[in-house]
């Protein structure tokens, strides 16, 4: 045992830590420490208008986004191909004056 203790060498950081602990000043008493930072409550007269501005801004942006999406959807909306052809032909006939409206009803044509 004596031989082992004689050959035993502590790690270098162990001695360094021991020396640091001895040289450190004692901790400050509780009354001399600074209390943790606590922010004051935001005054009501500032908080309410700020919130109202934020809500109004959000609503305005939402309306703009909805309008933009509606315009995009409207511009992309199209009739099916056959209906589109019919509409073009109808417009041409109206311009030329050859468009005929149906004046008689089905009941007058079909007599049983």
pLDDT tens per residue, the chain (112 residues)?
Answer: 888 877 777 677 777 888 887 777 767 676 667 777 889 998 888 888 889 999 999 999 999 999 999 999 988 888 888 998 999 999 998 888 877 666 555 666 666 6
* pTM, 2 dp: 0.39
pLDDT for residue 45 = 86
Helical spans, DSSP H, in the chain: 2-7, 12-23, 44-76, 81-96, 106-109
* CB neighbourhood size of 6 (10 A): 7
Distances in Å between the alpha carbon of 95 and those of 10, 81, 102, 112?
Answer: 107, 21, 18, 39
CB 65 within 8 A of CB 71: no
d(CA 41, CA 37): 13
* CB neighbourhood size of 57 (10 A): 10
């Amino acid at each position: 045992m004596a031989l082992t203790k004689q050959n035993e060498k502590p790690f270098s950081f162990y001695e360094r830590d021991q020396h640091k602990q001895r040289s450190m000043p004692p901790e400050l008493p509780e009354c001399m420490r600074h209390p943790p930072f606590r922010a004051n409550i935001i005054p009501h007269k500032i908080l309410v208008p700020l919130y109202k501005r934020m809500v109004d801004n959000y609503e305005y942006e939402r309306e703009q986004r909805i309008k933009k999406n509606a315009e995009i959807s409207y511009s992309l909306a199209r009739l099916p191909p056959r209906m589109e052809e019919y509409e073009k032909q109808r417009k041409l006939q109206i311009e030329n004056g050859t468009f005929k409206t149906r004046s008689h009803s089905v009941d007058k044509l079909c007599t049983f």
